[in-house]
Amino acid sequence: MHNPLQRIIFPASLIIMLAYPLLATEPATSGLDVPPVTINWESTILISRSTPTLQVVVNPPLRRGSTIHDPVYAALRDLGAENVRYVPWLPYPRLAVAELEPPTATNTSWDFSLIDPMTIDFLKATKGHPTILNFSTMPAWLFKTSQPVTYPADPNAPFWNYTQGTELKDPTLKELGDYYARLVSWYVRGGFTDELGVHHKSGHHYKIAWWEVLNEMESEHNTTPQQYTERYDAIVSAIHKVSPKTKFVGLAMAYANRFNYYEYFLNPKNHRPGIPLDMISYHFYASPGNGAQASNPADWHFCEQADKFLDTVRQIETIRKRLSPSTQTDIDELGVIAPDESWKNLPVYWNAAGAMYAYLYLELSKLGIENVGESQLVGYPTQYPSVSMVNWETGKPNARFRVLELLKHNFGPGDRLVPTQVASPDVAAQAYRTAAGRKLLLVNKSDAPVSVDLPPEAVNARRDVVDTSTGENPAQSSTVSGTQVTLPPFAVAVVFTPNP
């Protein structure tokens, strides 16, 4: 996410992928006025490497005792997604930073009492699935500041000015590395020994598959590519000593189009010997605009924004393949952030944002991107309500979550993408040959119904649809009865024919 005090919303590009919500099936006519979907099931253009997933950002509604705690964690558990990103983040220092005060000659301030409950609940909800942990907020006392950074006594009070300073006090970066080594030891080795030689016991012995190093550093602390690379190396080196099997994600860029960061970071010559470059990450948020435009779904040009973002992805991929071709990619924050509240009484907003994510998954799977992460599980007033995947009052998943659920249950690495075309600028379509059978993902990218003509083999297939009629409920299933179908506004659907 992005600190609103430091960043204007970046409408880089958004892809509304409205997958085939077939609420209306029409008898076949001449088909001359209805654009056809054509598929060549016998050819393979690419084997997918793309995992649909999400991020969980720490905030008070996820704390034990919250009225939505139980249903939200249950939804996360039932989803069963791989590589879910978990981010204790800066607006809540007491929920994200384990050592809020610098050590003195007589005591340290290590305290996991507020951090552990949410982290343990997250790890329980994702048990059996690899996750990406990112305790992104560094202790403020590590940095040179004109005066000590204060923070609210109330752990639930948002505070956006915690990440002050640009230069670390310790030029060797040992303090920085030691902080993260102890934090990771708390979760993987049952505890750690602090700066004064005192042992702190946790009893935790979790396995951390992935650790993402810091978050949106070009915004937080105004970190340069050189500074970030040095800090990445120091943190990775320290964590590797206590958790040698953990892999690492670097960059977590807020502004994906700052190509100089990739050019520097992905060049192995700029790193210490032996430092792994396992994966990079970056983010994208679209915006519905301001004022009257934001209240008119016909003016939500998410797809156009997404297409620009896809151009950025292609440029990053060119850099990655040139400098470090074995490095994977995690685009782990994808969503829509509204600059005002004119969307709040428009349920179609959640469908439009969900369709964008589906469209991005479709297009990014064509580009071989490994992780496609929707942002974020819980948003609420004061903390990005427009990007929430659940109803923050009830904890029930909204249409954005239901789109991810639809994709997760149908697509993933190993699927074969086959040549697919649709003769309509308002519809995105991609067919996949999966282990279970043939699946067609369709997206209506507009705020108006659009009809398409499916291939004959779609007749009698199962269709699962998320659209405005499904609301907060799971995708609705039915049977395709004819080749001509109408996709409602911002619908996402999967047409499925099982293997014989």
pLDDT per residue as tens digits for the range 332-352: 999 999 988 888 889 999 999
Q: Which DSSP state fits 270?
A: G
pLDDT tens readout for residues 292-345: 788 899 999 898 899 999 999 999 999 999 999 999 999 999 999 998 888 888
Do 432 and 411 touch, CB atoms closer than 8 A?
yes
Which pLDDT score is estimated for 14? 32
For residue 2, the model assigns a pLDDT of 57
Handedness of CA 180, 183, 185, 187 (dihedral sign): negative
- Is residue 276 very low, low, confident or very high in pLDDT (cuts 50, 70, 90)? very high
Q: What is the pLDDT of residues 128-153, one digit of tens each?
A: 999 999 999 999 999 999 999 999 99
240-271 pLDDT per residue, tens: 999 999 999 999 999 999 999 999 999 999 99
pLDDT at residue 500, as a whole number: 76
β-pairing, 199-201 with 210-212?
unpaired
Give per-residue pLDDT as tens, 439-463.
999 999 999 999 999 999 999 999 9
What is the pTM assigned to this prediction? 0.93
Burial of 201 (0-12, 13-18, 19+ CB in 10 A): exposed
Tell me what pLDDT residue 448 has: 94
CB 117 within 8 Å of CB 88: no
| Stretch (H or E) spanning 320 | helix 302-323
Angle between helices 115-125 and 69-79 (to 10 degrees): 40
3-state secondary structure 42-75: CCCCEECCCEEEEEEECCHHHCCCCCCHHHHHHH
* Nearest by Cα to 180 from 220, 218, 212, 221: 212
In the predicted structure, residue 206 carries a pLDDT above the cut 80: yes
Q: Is the pLDDT of residue 13 over 50?
A: no
- Residue 280's contacts (CB-CB under 8 Å, 6 or more residues apart) are 249, 250, 251, 262, 265, 266, 316, 320, 327, 328, 329, 330
Give the integer Cα–Cα distance in Å for 38 and 59. 45
Q: Evaluate if residue 8 carries a pLDDT over 50.
A: no
SS3 call for 418? strand
Return the structure tokens found at 37: 């979907």
Q: Which two tokens stand for residue 291?
A: 């004022």
pLDDT for 237 equals 98
The rounded distance, in Å, linking the Cα atoms of 291 and 61 is 28
Whether the pLDDT of residue 16 is over 50: the answer is no
Q: Which single residue is written with the structure tokens 């190993």? A: 414
Weakest mean pLDDT among 112-126, 231-245, 365-379, 478-492 = 478-492
Residue 345 burial (CB count, 10 A): 8
Q: What is the pLDDT of residues 405-423, one digit of tens each?
A: 999 999 999 999 999 999 9
**What is the token pair recorded at 232?**
């990445």
> What pLDDT sits at residue 7?
39
What is residue 88's predicted lDDT score, i.e. its pLDDT?
Answer: 97
Over residues 387-399, the mean pLDDT reads 97
- How far apart CA 251 and CA 206 sit, in angstroms, is 24
* Cβ-based neighbour number of residue 198 at 10 Å: 11
Length reported for the chain: 500
**Residues in CB range of 81: below 8 A, 6 or more apart:** 51, 52, 53, 54, 126, 129, 404, 408
In the prediction, which pLDDT does 32 show?
53
Mean of the per-residue pLDDT values for the chain? Answer: 93
Pairing of strands 437-444, 427-433: antiparallel
Residue whose structure tokens are 């600028």: 425
CA distance 117 to 123: 10
Rg of the chain over Cα atoms, rounded to whole angstroms, equals 23
Q: Which residue has the higher pLDDT, 22 or 425?
A: 425
Low-confidence winner among 33-37, 39-43, 306-310 (lowest mean pLDDT): 33-37
What is the percent of the chain with per-residue pLDDT over 70, rounded to a whole number? 94
Mean pLDDT score, 81-101 = 97
Instruction: Measure the CA–CA gap between 51 and 368, rounded to whole angstroms.
Output: 10
pLDDT at position 201 over 70: yes
Residue 342 has what pLDDT? 86
Residue 19 CA to chain centroid, in angstroms? 19
Q: Above 60 in pLDDT, residue 179? A: yes
Least confident of 16-25, 50-59, 129-138: 16-25
Indicate if the pLDDT at residue 3 is higher than 60. no
The confidence band for 397, taking pLDDT boundaries of 50, 70 and 90, is very high
- Residue 493: pLDDT over 70: yes
